[in-house]
Amino acid sequence: MDFKELVKTLNEKQLTYLNLNLENPKNGEYLLGVFHLLPGGDLNILQAACEVASESSTGTNFPVKTATSFSREMNALVYEVDLSKNLVWIAYPWRLFDRGGNIQNILTYIVGNVLGMKKVSALKLLDVWFSPSFLEQYDGPSYTIDDMRKYLDVYDRPILGTIIKPKMGLIASEYAEVCYDFWVGGGDFVKNDEPQANQDFCPYDKMVKYVKQAMDKAVKETGKKKVHSFNVSAADYDTMIERCEMIVNAGFEPGSYAFLIDGITAGWMAVQTLRRKYPNVFLHFHRAAHGAFTREENPFGFSVLVLSKFARLAGASGMHTGTAGVGKMSGSTSKDVVAAHNIQLFKDKGHFFNQNWGRIPEDDVDSIKLAKLDLAKHIILEDDSWRGMKKTVPIISGGLNPTLLKPFIDVMGNVDFITTMGAGAHAHPNGTREGAIALVQACEAYQKGITIQEYAKTHRELEVAISFFSKMK
C-alpha cells in the first residue's frame, strides 16, 4: 500500500494524530522523536504510529466525547514515515510536558505506556531532538569535567579512574586500602561500584571515613589531588540526602568528591534532585539496567543516544556511554561513540537529528573549529560559557584495561572522557598499585605517541599488564 491508501485506512481518531504536511517541525513548538516501529495485531504501520502518537499525548483506544478543540492542539503528530525502514517521526507539543524541566514526565509520555501496547510489535525510540528554546527550560550540567580537570590539574589526557573490585564484600577499611593503592599508583579517580550502599559489612559512614583517610594519605604522598565518586543511591529521598551530607561534612575538599546515582534504578527524580541540590558537585550517572531498553537485540525501548541525551538534559556531569565494542559490554562502536559525542560536544549529528547544544552560530566556522580543538586541552576556550548547555563527560568502563586505552581513544577520537577500569586495574598480577601504574604508563605511551609494547620495554608494570591481559583476551 502507498501513503494515500494507508491514510485512507485511518479512523477518525487516528487522523487527528497525523500531519504529514507539518510546516516546520523544528519551529520550537515540539520535541521530535524518531522510532523504529512494527505494527501489532492487524494494524498497518500508519495506524499503529497514530495509536502511538495518541497514547503518548492526549488519546486512548477510543475517541472520547470529552475532547475539546484545545486538547486536540496538544495531540502528538506523526509527521513523517519511512515505509522502507519502518521508521516513524513524531512531534510532541512542548506544552504537553510538566513545566519546570521534568525529565521523568517526558519519558513517561514518549517511552511509557506505548512500549506495552498490543498495537505495536516493535517500538524503539532511536533519536530525539530538542529545540534551543526547550533546552533553556532544562537544567543541564552544572559542575563539569572542565571543573574536575581544573581541580586535578589534568588536561590533554583522559581522567584515569577505577571501580573498586571485588564489586562487593570488602569491609570499609579494605575498600579504602584499595582506593589508596590505586591513587598512589597514579590514578586520579575512584568510584563506588553501582551496588555499593550501606551493606552491614561496609557501613556507609565507615566507608566515607576510611576513604577520607586513604585520600588524605595518597594526596600527601603523591602531591596530586584525587577524586572519589560516592554512590548516594538510596531507598528514599531522605536517606540519599543523608548520604550526601555525610560526605559533604566528612572534611573532603570541594572538588574531591562526586555523587554517583544509579539513574535507571534510582530514577530520574533522584538524578534531578541531586543536580538541583548540589550544583557544585560532579553528578555521576551510572546506567545499570539500561540494557533492558537499549540493547540492539531488544525491539522495545530506546537507544543509548536517547538515554545519554536525557542524562545531559537532566544535568549529569558524567554518563556511562559504553566502550564502543572495545570492552565487555554489548553496544556497537558507532552507537556508543555517537552517544558519547552527543553529550560532550556542543553540537553533533545523532542517528537522525543534528542536535545543537551550544550558542555558537552554525556559520561561525572558526569558533566551531576552536571548540572542537579545545576538547580537554583548554588552550583556547577556558570555560563553557560558549555553550548553551554544558557538556556531560562520557564515562568509559566495562571491561577496559591498559591495553585497550589507546584502541578506545582511537575509536572515540578524543581524550575528553573518564575511564574507570575495574578488573583492568585490580586483576593486574601484582595488584592494584601496579595496575594503576600500568594504566598511567599506557596513557603516557599514548601521549608520547609510542606503542605500549615499545614503552613496556622500559616500564615493567605495563609489560606485566600486557602479557596478562593479552592472554586473558
Question: Interface residues with ligand CAP (CB under 6 A)?
Answer: 163, 165, 167, 193-194, 287, 320, 322, 328-329, 397-399, 421-424
Whole-number minimum distance, CB 294 to ligand CAP, in Å?
Answer: 10
**Which region, judged by CB under 5 A, interacts with Mg ion, from 2-10, 121-129, 193-201, 326-334?**
193-201
Instruction: State the pairing for strand pair 189-191/354-356.
Output: unpaired
The SS3 call for residue 100 is: coil
| Candidate ranges 31-39, 84-92, 169-177, 415-423; the one touching Mg ion (CB under 5 A) | 415-423
Q: Which residue's CB is nearer to ligand CAP, number 328 or number 457?
A: 328
Instruction: Tell the smallest beta-carbon distance from residue 396 to ligand CAP (Å).
Output: 7
Q: Does the footprint of Mg ion cover residue 262 (CB under 5 A)?
A: no
Nearer to ligand CAP, 193 or 416 (CB): 193
**Alpha-carbon gap, residue 351 to 338, rounded angstroms:** 8
Is residue 336 near Mg ion by the rule CB under 5 A?
no
Region near Mg ion per CB under 5 A, out of 110-118, 225-233, 401-409, 412-420: 412-420
Q: Which does 318 bind (CB under 5 to 8 A by kind): ligand CAP, Mg ion, none?
A: none
Per CB under 5 A, which of residues 378..407 are in contact with Mg ion?
A: 397
Buried b or exposed e, range 407-421, using 16+ CB within 10 angstroms: ebbebbebbbbbbbb
Minimal distance, residue 166 CB to ligand CAP, in Å? 10
| Helix H or strand E encompassing 66 | none
Q: Which partner, Mg ion, ligand CAP, none, binds residue 399 by CB below 5 to 8 Å per kind? A: ligand CAP
Q: Which of 29, 127, 147, 193 binds Mg ion (CB under 5 A)?
A: 193
DSSP letter string over 290-334? THHHH-TT-SEEE-HHHHHHHHHHHT-SEEE---TTSSSS---HH
Structure-block grid coordinates of residue 62: 477510543
What minimum distance in Å lies between the beta carbon of 186 and ligand CAP? 17
Q: Which is nearer to Mg ion, 285 or 353 (CB)?
A: 285
Q: Is 356 helix (H, G, I), strand (E, B) or coil?
A: strand
Burial class (CB in 10 A: 0-12, 13-18, 19+), 280: exposed
Angle at 119 between CA 115 and CA 120, to 5 degrees: 50
Please choose which of Mg ion, ligand CAP, none residue 406 contacts, taking the beta carbon within 5 to 8 angstroms, the exact cut-off set by kind: none
- Shortest reach from residue 307's CB to ligand CAP, in Å: 10
278 near 142, Cβ under 8 Å?
A: no
Shortest spacing between CB 334 and ligand CAP, in angstroms: 16
Compute the least distance from the CB of residue 28 to ligand CAP, in Å.
Answer: 33
Asked if residue 394 lies in contact with residue 141, where contact means CB atoms within 8 angstroms, the answer is no
Q: Running DSSP on this structure, what letter comes out for residue 349?
A: E
Cell 479512523 identifies what position? 11
Spatial contact of 443 and 160, defined as CB atoms under 8 Å apart: yes
- Vertex 92: Cα angle to 91 and 93 (nearest 5): 115
**Of the residues 226, 228, 286, 426, which is catalytic?**
286
Q: Which is nearer to Mg ion, 395 or 440 (CB)?
A: 395
Is 447 in contact with 200 (CB distance < 8 Å)?
no
Q: Which stretch binds Mg ion (CB under 5 A): 189-197, 213-221, 346-354, 450-458?
A: 189-197
325 binds, among Mg ion, ligand CAP, none (CB under 5 to 8 A by kind): none
**Residues comprising the chain, all counted:** 473
Q: Which three cell numbers stand for residue 231?
A: 554512590
Residue 25 cell numbers, joined: 517541525
Return the number of the residue (191 or 312) whose C-beta is nearest Mg ion: 191
What count of other Cβ atoms lies within 10 Å of the Cβ of residue 331?
23
What's the min distance (Å) between Cβ of 447 and ligand CAP? 22
Based on the residue annotation, tell me whether 351 is a catalytic residue of this protein. Answer: no
CA R_g for the chain? 24
Which residues make Cβ contacts (< 8 Å) with residue 129, sequence separation at least 6? 26, 31, 32, 33, 350, 353, 355
Q: Which residue number places its CB atom closest to Mg ion?
A: 397
Nearby residues of 326 by Cβ (< 8 Å), 6 or more positions away:
333, 400, 404, 407, 408, 411
Taking Cα atoms as reference points, which of 149, 213, 152 lies closest to residue 179? 213
Interatomic CA distance for residues 143 and 153, integer angstroms = 15
Which residue out of 13, 119, 124, 165 is catalytically annotated? 165
CB closer to ligand CAP, 117 vs 440? 440
423 binds, among Mg ion, ligand CAP, none (CB under 5 to 8 A by kind): ligand CAP
- Partner from ligand CAP, Mg ion, none binding residue 13, C-beta < 5-8 Å depending on class: none
Rank residues 357 and 417 by Cβ distance to Mg ion and give the closer one: 417
Instruction: State which of residues 51, 147, 194, 434 lies at the interface with Mg ion (CB under 5 A).
Output: 194
Q: Does the protein bind Mg ion through residue 416 (CB under 5 A)?
A: no
Q: Which does 185 bind (CB under 5 to 8 A by kind): ligand CAP, Mg ion, none?
A: none
Q: Quick check: is 4 catalytic? A: no
Residues that bind Mg ion (CB under 5 A): 193-194, 397, 420
Q: Which residues are catalytic?
A: 165, 286
